[in-house]
Amino acid sequence: MKPILMTATAAAAIALVACSPSAPEASQDPVQPYEEDIVIDETSGEAQAEDASAEMPDEATANSLTGIIAENPDLSTFTLALDAAGVAEKLEEGGPYTVFAPTNEAFANMPPEQLEMLLAPENKDKLIRVIEYHIVPGKIMAADIPPESENVMTSSLNNLDMAARTTEDGKVRVNTATVTSADIEASNGVVHIVDTVIVPRMSE
C-alpha cells in the first residue's frame, strides 16, 4: 500500500539549557566583590521562560478532543487526516462532540485505491466528508447509545445518517465499525476508538 502523504504540524521539543556564570578570576575581596564587577543579566532568563511558554502546549488544547486524539500513537493517521481535512481546529475549540476515531490499522485495511482517492488534493471535499462522518454533535457516552432493536439513526456532523447501536452481545457498533475502546473523555466531548474507517456515501 502506498504511504499516507499528509502534512501535520509536529509538536515542538522543549529544551531549556541552564548556564551558570563562572567565577571571576580578578583579584578582589573574597568576601565582597567590587560593585562594578556585578553584572546581572535579567533578559536571558526571561527570554528562555518566554520561549518555553510559547512552545509548551496549552492545557486547554491538550485536554481537547484534538489533543486527546493526538497523544494516542494508535490514532496518528486519524490525527493527520483531521489536519488535512481542516477539522482539527473545530475539535479543539468547538463542541461538545462525539468522535469515532479509527485506528492506524483501520486506515491500513482500507482498499489502497480508495485511500489514494481520498488523499488526492483535488478530492479534499471527499476527505472532509469522510472525516466529518466520524463526528457527531453532542457528547454521547457508550451507555447512551441505543440498542440495535430500536433501529435509531444518528446524524453526523455533516448531517448524514449513521447506525450507531448497541448489539445484543453488548458491543457498540457504528455502521460496520466496532468500538474497541469507549468513553475517552475530553474537555469538549468524548472519543470512542473504532476498528474500521466509516465511509459514507459520496453523493446525496
pLDDT tens digits for range 151-187? 999 999 999 999 999 999 999 999 999 999 999 999 9
Cell of 58: 496549552
Distance CA 67, CA 64 (A): 5
Domains in the chain with CATH codes: 62-194 (2.30.180.10)
pLDDT tens digits for range 44-94? 555 454 554 445 557 768 899 999 999 999 999 999 999 999 999 999 988
Distance CA 121, CA 7 (A): 12
Cell of 123: 478530492
Answer left, alpha or beta for residue 128, where phi above 0 means left and psi between -120 and 50 means alpha: alpha
Distance CA 101, CA 195 (A): 8
Cell of 54: 510559547
pTM of the full structure: 0.72
- Give the residue among 79, 93, 192 at the shortest CA–CA distance from 131: 79
Distance CA 153, CA 161 (A): 6
Distance CA 78, CA 19 (A): 41
